[in-house]
Amino acid sequence: MVVIKKDYFSIRQICQSGQCFRLERLQDGEGEKAGWESYGLTALGRYLAIGQRGEETSFDCTRDEFEKVWKGYFDLDEDYGRIIGGIDRKDSYLQEAAAFGSGIRILRQDLWEMIVSFIISQQNNIKRIRKCITYLCTRYGQEKRTEKGLVYYDFPTPGALAGASLEELYACNLGYRSRYVHETALLVAKEEIDLEAVRTMEYGRAREELLKLCGVGVKVADCICLFALHKTQAFPVDTHIKKVLEKQYPEGFPVKKYQGYEGTLQQYIFYYDLMKGKL
């Protein structure tokens, strides 16, 4: 078990932010009574139990695993206070959005998983995306078991999804996205798109390469760049962001002012707009 204290780090906000679909809130009776929130994360071929109370976070793993895997995954070396502190004080909307979602961090997730996840995300809501991905993982992912006996499923490989029929993918509730997932899996499985090469590309080239995949448009490519490749200059524009830009930034978001971390600010805006609708 590893326990850290960290500001600007909220597992709840990250879970709700729409960037990670296999992080879920758990109902752990004793922990909840003591003020701890419990979460389970399946990522990078591993399962991680997480607890959080205020600025204190527990990771059910060894110190070595935390340092080699999860510290980078949760972007814990980045100074998010500096990013928030650099927001123009005259921009009251962005100030409010960043304060509201100040615990969000941009995760370093698996590239293939993010490609499929954000293809599925099109014209979809977070709850339904989670269900679709759960179906895919349970049906096509490798079954694994933690030391404590918990069964979980790895994310399906390109070969596994390329080998599935369209009818089988439709049965996972993917709808019209079934063809996109299938054709993209075929491209990657046949190495017509080299994901290892994409991982080393700068933002513009990576985005251009991702656009070659079936079902990947500009918004999806930017989501993949941001949440898998950690290209924090990527600024995905979906319906939530478009609505905010039209109302708050009719002349365009001031990207030049925030070069290098526009995507981080996009997450604050997205989360603020998303959650305000639920309050």
| Nearest CA-CA partner of 129 in 13, 20, 277 | 20
Note whether 18 and 227 are within 8 A (CB): no
Supply 263's token pair: 């995507």
Chain-centre distance of CA 278, in angstroms?
Answer: 20
Question: Which of the following is catalytic: 219, 242, 256, 257?
Answer: 219
Establish whether 212 is a catalytic residue: no
Chain-centre distance of CA 244, in angstroms?
Answer: 21
Q: How many other β-carbons are positioned within 10 Å of the β-carbon of residue 156?
A: 24
70 DSSP assignment: I
In the numeric block, the tokens 């030391």 are attached to 147
Three-state DSSP at 164 gives coil
| Nearest CA-CA partner of 94 in 259, 227, 245, 223 | 245
Q: How many other β-carbons are positioned within 10 Å of the β-carbon of residue 185?
A: 27
CA angle at residue 196 from 65 to 144, to 5 degrees?
45
Note whether 34 and 242 are within 8 A (CB): no
For the four alpha carbons of 30, 31, 34 and 35, in that order, the dihedral sign comes to negative
Supply 137's token pair: 């993982």
List of residues 6+ apart from 219 with CB closer than 8 A: 236, 237, 238
Active site (catalytic) residues: 219
